[in-house]
Amino acid sequence: MIIESERLILRYWNEDDAAVCYEYCKDPKVGPITGWPPHKDIEESLYIIRNVLTAPDNFAITLKQSGTVIGNVGLKYDDLACDDKENSTEIGFWLGVPHWGKGYMTEAVKAIIEYIFEDLHKETIWCGYYDGNDRSRHVQQKCGFKYQWTTPDVDVPLMNEKRTGHVNKLTRDEWLEEGGGRHARLYDTNKYRLAEAPFYDERYDRISWVDIIDGKFYTKQGSDESVCFDAGQKIGSAIPLKNTKGYVLACQDGLYTYENGKLTKTVDLKSYYKSYQRSNDAKADPDGRIFFGSSVEGDHSPCGNLYSYFEGAVKVQQANTKISNGMAWSHDKTKFYFSDSLEHAVFVYDRDLVTGDITNRKVLFEINDGVPDGLCIDENGNLWVAVWDGKRIECRSHKDGKLLDVIRLDARHVTSCCFIGKNLDTLFITSSGEDLEGESDGRLFICKPGVKGVICDKATI
């Protein structure tokens, strides 16, 4: 088991580490402050490695560049500050004196916190320190731990004395709220002005996305290189078609079919859109209806509608939207989820199983430190929402909108996401680089979120 951070690798201890372990642990500044006496010789350090440091989920902290061991961080289950051992753990740590004051301990603790919450799925982490151990207290504070209580006359058996102990706690919810979560990695080296509308068509192992501003539509099948089609106008979205290998494109002035490299207008939207409006996000509902929203361009007040198209009829499903964006339908087809970006909210509607119409709009959750953009749904029915100006994807409960998980990105304007791959276990994420200069702005990302998605609905036109 290996855990990596920017400068460190956390790996299991081995007997070859005895000499360096002794060099650190013989120093009276290291052990006594945490509750154990200095090591007397290498043989004692070897004994400690064999019988203590090789416990499960205990890690030697090593420098990534040189491989040098510099300290230890590990989990404890048998001496928890609470009885909930199934959902909780405690961590302890020490660092060799030559490496103090360089931020290594904080970096290591943050890395193991992510491991505990994301891989072990614990809900609470406990950590403590004895009176006078200000370095440990500062590390815990920097990592988000919050004070719980102080206990006088705590037995410290290895030192044969009593001390005052302080207990801190960090919950998964607190960690997520303060910027915790997984980090997505770059998918390729390309940059886009406004990448959006990612879809995965499991029938052909094919990913697709658009660059709205450049009017380009991209597809990538399996391990092949991506293929680009220039539509000659702005594209809000491209949805896989149900009965062919083609797509329906929601463009500047209409709905088009794209098949075999040819674009054909199927629905003219000039009578529905004002001159300064265009299509934005679009998706197919479980019955193949096309839901698409309009967006405003230029110096105009936000105004638009969310439409549906089915069997030759265009219908307004939600009037007076500000910016129509992410859409998803519940697994039982009775709910519709929709992000109206400039409302800073994701709404939930009741859905008619016969007509597909949506009613009874309610706020499911709001996002105030950023703008909710495109979204998708996972196998558990929860929503994964791109946060524009937030550098993240949020996973939200479909029941009450509670924040469940966060994926961090280096791109500022995150636009949308979908699950891809034969197992639907990888999140494919788009972003915008328009008017931004960051190295990762406008690039594509992927991440393994630890949950699977569902097959996307295909459009009928």
Residue type, 279: S
Neighbours of 98 (CB within 10 A): 12
Report d(CA 334, CA 332) in Å as an integer.
6
Report d(CA 218, CA 229) in Å as an integer.
6
E-strand spans in 77-194?
A: 88-95, 124-130, 146-156, 161-171, 182-183, 185-186
Helix axes 134-142, 104-114, angle to 10 degrees: 50
Which sign does the torsion angle of CA 185, 187, 190, 196 carry? negative
Beta carbons within 8 Å of 79's beta carbon, 6+ residues apart: 90
E-strand spans in 300-390?
A: 304-310, 313-321, 324-329, 335-340, 345-351, 358-366, 371-377, 383-388
Q: Is 2 exposed, middle or buried (0-12, 13-18, 19+ CB in 10 A)?
A: exposed
Neighbours of 100 (CB within 10 A): 15
R_g of the chain, CA atoms, integer Å = 27
Alpha helix segments (H runs only) across 127-245: 134-142, 172-177
Beta carbons within 8 Å of 224's beta carbon, 6+ residues apart: none
Q: Show which residues are catalytic.
A: 373
Report d(CA 178, CA 258) in Å as an integer.
44
